[in-house]
């Protein structure tokens, strides 16, 4: 991991091959937070274990959601708990961890397109959910614990990603992977745009605040305008708070705000009969 991070490449995420446990997940979360502090905005994707020979599907799901979950809460970590039966091009059928096809879904999609969006289709090679006995209740238990899982949907054929869960705290703005990817892209691109002005000079007003930064603001907002045009965000803007003592601090502080896209995770309909003769609606 250190070799990858030391290369200082523009990496979106790092997938960890093989199954791992909460000790590794906590270490990955720490690595990702440390990378963000030095402007490497990325997250990790890991895979939880399969059920043991002595376990039922219910015992396996409860173990992963309970004692094996650990206490890690990170907006830069995903753990796949899903497993699928998958057929390859030669007709070979195997039970495989979800992480492979999940990362493939991420790579295919734009940063704003969730891996769980039904419109993009099912997991093409998946033939069954595993382990045998997994049901909606156990899948929901794992999802609520922060894991990435797969599911079937009534009325549709195939198997779909349940959601791009992050191992975040409840109520986090980064509970879904698309929110993580959008923010990371904005951070990378805004930083790149602002580096042009690094160590440059700026005029200082009567109150000591920096002035004449209209071009700097426009340059900073340029990536946000492009992301809005591409349909990746709703809007975004940059402001420079007043009252900064740049002569003493040699530091310019900005505030960047992004309005993300909404997500239709649930669709509720009210449906009933209507009698036109009664003027009902």
The pTM score is 0.92
pLDDT tens track for 239-256? 999 889 999 999 999 999
pLDDT tens track for 23-37? 999 999 999 999 999
Residue 281: the pLDDT is 60
What is the chain's mean pLDDT, rounded? Answer: 94
d(CA 34, CA 14): 14
**Model confidence at 280, in pLDDT bands (50, 70, 90)?**
low
Question: How far, in Å, are 12, 102, 117, 190, 260 from residue 187 at the CA level?
Answer: 12, 24, 25, 5, 14
Q: What is the CA radius of gyration of the chain?
A: 23
3-state secondary structure 218-275: HHHHHHHHHHHHCCCCCEEEEECCCCCCHHHHCCCCCEEEEECCCCCCCCCCCCCCCC
Residue 1: the pLDDT is 85
Residue 63: the pLDDT is 97
For 137-154, what is the mean pLDDT?
96
Collect all residues with Cβ–Cβ distance below 8 Å to 90 and sequence separation of at least 6. Answer: none
pLDDT tens track for 75-125? 999 999 999 999 887 878 899 999 999 999 999 999 999 999 999 999 988
Residue 53: the pLDDT is 94
- Which residue's entry shows tokens 């000591």? 208
State which H helix or E strand residue 129 sits in: strand 126-130
Residue 49 burial (10 A CB sphere; 0-12, 13-18, 19+): middle
Partners of 96 in the β-ladder: 84
Task: Give the domain ranges of the chain.
Answer: 9-161, 199-259
pLDDT tens track for 57-76? 999 999 999 999 999 999 99
d(CA 231, CA 27): 34
**Model confidence at 47, in pLDDT bands (50, 70, 90)?**
very high
Under 8 Å between Cβ of 159 and 152: yes
- Phi–psi pair at 159, nearest 5 degrees: -120, 140
Chain centroid, CA 39 distance in Å: 18
Q: Which of 219, 223, 220, 222 is nearest to 186 (CA)?
A: 223
């Amino acid at each position: 991991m250190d070799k990858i991070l030391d290369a200082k490449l523009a990496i979106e995420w790092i997938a960890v091959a093989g199954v791992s446990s909460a000790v590794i997940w906590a270490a990955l979360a720490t690595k990702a937070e440390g990378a963000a502090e030095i402007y490497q905005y990325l997250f990790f994707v890991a895979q939880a274990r399969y059920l043991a020979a002595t376990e039922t599907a219910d015992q396996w799901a409860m173990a992963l959601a309970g004692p094996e979950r650990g206490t890690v809460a990170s907006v830069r970590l995903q753990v796949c708990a899903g497993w699928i039966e998958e057929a390859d091009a030669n007709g070979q059928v195997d039970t495989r961890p979800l992480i492979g096809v999940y990362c493939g879904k991420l790579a295919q999609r734009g940063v704003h397109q969730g891996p769980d969006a039904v419109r993009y289709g099912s997991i093409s090679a998946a033939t069954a959910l595993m382990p045998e006995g997994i049901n909606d209740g156990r899948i929901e238990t794992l999802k609520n614990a922060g894991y990435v899982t797969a599911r079937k949907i009534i009325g549709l054929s195939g198997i779909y990603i349940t959601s791009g869960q992050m191992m975040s705290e409840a109520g986090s703005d980064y509970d879904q992977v698309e929110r993580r990817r959008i923010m990371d892209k904005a951070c990378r691109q805004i930083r790149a745009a602002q580096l042009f002005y690094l160590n440059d000079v700026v005029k200082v007003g009567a109150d000591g605040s920096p002035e004449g930064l209209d071009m700097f603001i426009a340059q900073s907002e340029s990536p946000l305008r492009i992301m809005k045009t591409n349909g990746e965000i709703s809007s975004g803007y940059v402001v420079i708070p007043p009252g900064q003592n740049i002569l003493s601090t040699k530091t310019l502080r900005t505030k960047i705000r992004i309005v993300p896209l909404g997500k239709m995770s649930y669709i509720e309909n009210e449906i009933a009969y209507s009698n036109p003769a009664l003027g009902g609606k």
